[in-house]
Amino acid sequence: MSNLVPPHGGKGLTCCLLEGADREAELKKAKGLKKIPVSPREKGDLIMMGIGGFSPLTGFMTKADWKGICDDYLLADGTFWPIPVTLSATKEDAGGIADGEEIALLDPETDEIMATMQVTEKFEMTEADKKYECEKVYMGEGTPTAEEFWKIAAEDHPGVQMVMNQKDVTLAGPVKVLSEAEYPTRYAGTYMRPEDSRKIFEGKGWSEVAALQLRNPMHRSHEYLCKIAVEVCDGVYIHSLVGNLKPGDIPAGVRVKCIDALVKNYFVEDNVVQGGYPLDMRYAGPREALLHATFRQNYGCSRMIIGRDHAGVGDFYGMFEAQTIFDKIPTPSEPGKALLCTPLKIDWTFYCFKCDGMASLRTCPHGKEDRVLLSGTMLRKMLSEGGELPDHFGRDEVVQILREYYEGLTEKVEIKLHGAATGGDKK
């Protein structure tokens, strides 16, 4: 009997991935089916449904699911879910698909058949529908009115751009996943299925596991957050995104190398597990914090570390909006349908020269001039421009790995600093 938090949805891990003879038979059938290309985001969502990371989802969402999530954070059956997981197709492609027909889902970059899908519903996503999703899912306290939001979102918010660039028809229905793409080989030893992480945690005798979400290299604040979590939980799962990011973000392989160096030199290794997952970032801030907690529950984590500006981009979200949103979501009464992975809320953290160590706004009485404000965006900007980092910004072993990466780049990407990276008006 496992002492870990149960998977989300009350149905155990719902894995849609076929293997062995079942996979070969389905793949043979798929070659004769109509092919629909998937976007990188949809590819990652497919893999997560395949490995049980998106339990209890077993397919792409219906119109009722989409509307319920946008309005109330609930699937049509009443299960909590924070962000739509949908598949889009062109009107031309969708027009030739009959209700109940099976199709093959193709990765257009590799021509690999990723899955088969039985189409149970088709619905149009108008520009008004897409804008509705963006305002419900991506608009935060940083842009409190729709007018302010759309002045900058269409150009500056990559998640909004993903939604607005979706094709005009959405296809819903169950999937049978045939591939985990490049992840098991490219990130061997890091990429994990939920069943893998759960087995590791159970082997260690853990019951309370905190997850740290990473898309930037680990700096001193990340390290401090992890160490706080280690003190109050059995262990920490450093779970980094190995899917697609936006231009200027650090590639997954470099981040993994940085984490390895940090864990080896500054942690009791037995208290930390590192893993990777195959999603693209949506940059949905508070809603994405909820998604991170939801699928971390499937990986066996009962706590989700939430610091400032979690999964944010630019100044779209309030500094701690990703924490307060957990207090506003519905709690379904039916067992298993509520979110059970709870937030570990930690204030803004930094290095303070007067405190002579890492601290937070809750523990440090000193002024901004005494602090080294830490952010992944600032770290990337300084290194990309060849600048010197302030003392105590990052561990030497990590900074060296990142310097080598930036020195090897032939093309530079401009990295913008926003309020969340510079400290805003924090005192």
Query: pLDDT tens across 318-354, in order?
Result: 999 999 999 999 999 998 999 999 999 999 999 999 9
Determine the structural domain holding residue 409 and report its residue range. 189-422
* Contacts (Cβ under 8 Å, ≥6 apart) of 226: 212, 236, 238, 267, 272, 305
Q: What is the pLDDT of residue 246?
A: 66
Q: What is the pLDDT of residue 421?
A: 46
Q: What is the pLDDT of residue 234?
A: 98
Q: What is the pLDDT of residue 427?
A: 42
> pLDDT tens across 85-139, in order?
999 999 999 999 999 999 999 999 999 999 999 999 999 999 999 999 999 999 9
| 268 lies in the same domain as 311 | yes
| 255 lies in the same domain as 356 | yes
| 244 lies in the same domain as 264 | yes
| 172 lies in the same domain as 227 | no
Q: What is the pLDDT of residue 250?
A: 80
Q: What is the pLDDT of residue 366?
A: 97
Number of domains comprising the chain: 2
| 309 lies in the same domain as 213 | yes
* Contacts (Cβ under 8 Å, ≥6 apart) of 22: none
- Picking from 14, 137, 10, 15, the residue whose alpha carbon sits closest to that of residue 79 is 10
Q: What is the pLDDT of residue 413?
A: 54
> Per-residue pLDDT for 264 more than 90?
yes
Q: Report, as an integer, the average pLDDT of 183-195.
A: 95
Options 41, 193, 198, 215, the catalytic residue: 215
Q: What is the pLDDT of residue 356?
A: 96
Are 211 and 4 spatial neighbours (Cβ–Cβ below 8 Å)? Answer: no
Options 41, 193, 198, 216, the catalytic residue: 216
Would residue 61 count as lying in a domain? Answer: yes
Percent of the chain predicted with pLDDT > 90:
77
Q: Report, as an integer, the average pLDDT of 176-197.
A: 96
What are the tokens at 323?
A: 């924490």
Mean pLDDT, the chain, rounded, equals 92
Give the CATH number of the domain where residue 175 resides: 3.10.400.10
Would residue 174 count as lying in a domain? Answer: yes
Active site residue 282: no
| 174 lies in the same domain as 224 | no
Are 325 and 290 spatial neighbours (Cβ–Cβ below 8 Å)? Answer: yes
Would residue 318 count as lying in a domain? Answer: yes
| 239 lies in the same domain as 348 | yes
| 223 lies in the same domain as 77 | no
Q: What is the pLDDT of residue 412?
A: 61
Active site residue 3: no
Give the CATH number of the domain where residue 283 resides: 3.40.50.620
| 231 lies in the same domain as 112 | no
Taking 3-state DSSP, the helix, strand and coil percentages for the chain, each rounded to the nearest 5, stand at 35, 20, 45
Q: What is the pLDDT of residue 335?
A: 87
What are the tokens at 88?
A: 């889009």
> Per-residue pLDDT for 312 more than 60?
yes
Total-model pTM? 0.93
| 328 lies in the same domain as 297 | yes
> pLDDT tens across 155-173, in order?
999 999 999 999 999 999 9
**Which residues does residue 272 pair with via DSSP β-bridges, in sequence order?**
236
d(CA 359, CA 345) in angstroms, rounded, equals: 14
Q: Which residues of 337-369 are buried (b: 16+ CB within 10 A; e: fewer)?
A: bbbbbebbebbbbbbbeebeebbbeeebeeeee
Q: What is the pLDDT of residue 416?
A: 56
> Per-residue pLDDT for 279 more than 70?
yes
Of 239-248, 302-311, 358-367, the least confident: 239-248
Percent of the chain predicted with pLDDT > 70:
94
CA distance from start to end of the chain: 48
Distances from the Cα of 63 to the Cα of 17, 69, 121, 272, 422, angstroms:
24, 10, 8, 40, 40
> pLDDT tens across 405-418, in order?
888 877 665 555 45
Q: Give the H/E segment covering residue 61.
A: none
Q: Report, as an integer, the average pLDDT of 21-45.
A: 97
**Which residues does residue 195 pair with via DSSP β-bridges, in sequence order?**
none
